[in-house]
Amino acid sequence: MIKQNKRLVGIVLVVTLLLLIPLIAMLFTDEVKWTLSDFIVAAVLVIVAGMTVELIMRKVQTTKLRIVFCVALFLVFFLIWAELAVGIFGTSFSGN
């Protein structure tokens, strides 16, 4: 039980550190313009990805399948991130 809590704390810590990057960048440049909703969406997206990796590591037994599932997850994650940022698919959720 304690090991599971350490992993959860690690995921939350990584999400926090990742979200500090654009926050600090906003202090030094006008090129980064995130709103509160941008931070919330990014936090949810990264936490869901992190928790899904944790689920994959717990439930999938073979290393090959873990790699396949994690690569597929990260591909979906980056495609969603790119769509939200610049709109590569032209949906109504695009960042344009």
The parent domain of residue 9 ranges over: 2-86
Is 94 among the domain residues? Answer: no
pLDDT tier at 19, thresholds 50, 70, 90 = very high
Is 93 among the domain residues? Answer: no
Instruction: Check residue 85 and give its pLDDT.
Output: 85
Is 82 among the domain residues? Answer: yes
Predicted structure pTM score: 0.83
Size of the chain, expressed as the number of residues it contains: 96
Dist. CA 42–CA 91, nearest whole Å = 18
Instruction: Check residue 3 and give its pLDDT.
Output: 64
Nearest to 14 by CA among 42, 35, 36: 42
Count how many domains the chain has. 1
Is 92 among the domain residues? Answer: no
For the CA atoms of the chain, what is the radius of gyration?
16
pLDDT digits 0-9 by tens, 28-68: 999 999 999 999 999 999 999 999 999 999 999 999 999 99
